[in-house]
Structure 1
Amino acid sequence: MKIISIMGAPKIKEELYHFIEEGDAKLIKMLYAVAKEYTKDDYTLSGKPMTANQLKTRVRDAKARIAKGQYTTQDDLEKEMQEW
C-alpha cells in the first residue's frame, strides 16, 4: 500500500489508536467490522493478496451489516474480551 510506505506502519498504528480513542460509536463499529471481515477468511494465513475489488466488496458488505444493526456493541465486545 502506498500510504504505508509514505507514513510507515508504526505511524499509521499510532494514528489509528487515536482515532479509536476519540472516535464515536459509529466509527468504532465500522473499524471493528472492517478488521473482523479482513481476518475472517484467514487472509493472513493463506498468503494470497487481496485485490482492491475484494477489499471494496468487504467494506461495502461490512457497511451494509452495520446499517442492518448486525454488529457487536462496545459492551458486548468488552464482555467477550473478559473471556479471552
Structure 2
Amino acid sequence: MSDISPLEGIELIDCAKANADNDVVIVAERCGYGQDVTAFQTALQQACTDIGINVEAIADLITPQQRVMTQGGLSISPDTASNL
C-alpha cells in the first residue's frame, strides 16, 4: 500500500473522478489503495452506492463536460462575415 491511508466515501469518488482518464492501477494507487485494485473497486462501488449512483467502470465518472475539456471543443463560426 502507499503511504496515505485509503480514501473512502465522497473523497474516494472525487479522487477517482479526477484520475478517471488513467489506468485503474494508477487510480487505485492515487486513491491510497496501492496495487490492491480489487479493494479499490469494491470501496468505490460501495461509496457510489452510498450516495445513490450506479458506476460500472471508472470511466462512468467522467462527465461529458470533462470529455469536452480534455478533447477540445468545437469551433463554431459563420461561413462568412455577412452570413450569420
TM-score normalised to the size of structure 1? Answer: 0.29
Give the number of the structure whose alpha-carbon radius of gyration is greater. Answer: 2
TM-score normalised to the size of structure 2? Answer: 0.29
Task: Give the helix-richer structure, 1 or 2.
Answer: 1
